[in-house]
Amino acid sequence: MLLAINRARWRRLNWLPEGWVHPTEVELPTGHHLRPIRGADVDLDMPAVMGSRQRLWSRYGAAWGWPPATLTREQDQEDLQHHEDEIEAHESFNYALFDRDETELIGCVYIDPPSSREADAEIDWWVRDEYVGTAVEQALNELVPRWIAEDWPLRRPRFGAPVAGNTEPPGDYPQTPLS
């Protein structure tokens, strides 16, 4: 068991090349943009998450226990600060999708270290319920795989929702984002 934990820790700490610099902003053709999420984004994140909670829980609940029905502002801020710290350390990445003036958080893109040897990253994304089926969602669906291929040092990313309880997941993941 200890060997498996050490292997998982090694993958998490060594999954990106030393000295690689992560993107700080990515534009969508719709005028929206992605940037790393921050603890200070809590007042925009809470309505996005809780307004789409049922759909997000169906996607992430089993694997991450998120988002809980009782999520408080303080818990969300702690979670976002944790993401911000992980981004700074290159342990994992959470990019928030914003409108041009950052008055609305529309969704998120998660880029995490691999949970198996078959991939070199785990990537998934979502948009708020009211954006499902819109041009914004379509633009994000088209952008993410291209962005990962062009701007990230990854050769075998796995796209799709996290799999609960698997440390060595099967290779037949869904290859589509949350809709």
DSSP 8-class letter at 59: H
Q: What predicted TM-score, i.e. pTM, was given to this entire model?
A: 0.85
The 10s digit of each residue's pLDDT in 80-103 is 999 999 999 999 999 999 999 999
The class that CATH gives domain 2-14+29-159 is alpha beta
Mean pLDDT, to the nearest integer, of 56-79?
94
For the chain, the C-alpha Rg in angstroms (whole number) is 16
Record the tokens describing residue 41, joined without a space.
């984004």
The 10s digit of each residue's pLDDT in 117-158 is 899 999 999 999 999 999 999 999 999 999 999 999 999 999
CA distance 160 to 114: 12
Residues 6+ apart with CB under 8 A from 101: none
User: Which residues face 33 on adjacent strands?
Assistant: 27, 98
Q: What pLDDT sits at residue 134?
A: 98
Residues 6+ apart with CB under 8 A from 133: 179
- Indicate whether 165 pLDDT > 60: no
Q: What pLDDT sits at residue 164?
A: 65
- Indicate whether 57 pLDDT > 70: yes
Q: Dihedral sign for Cα 143, 39, 178, 13, please.
A: positive
The full set of domain ranges for the chain reads: 2-14+29-159
The 10s digit of each residue's pLDDT in 9-25 is 444 557 999 999 999 99
Q: Taking Cα atoms as reference points, which of 125, 121, 119 lies closest to residue 144?
A: 125
Helix (H, G, I), strand (E, B) or coil at 90: coil
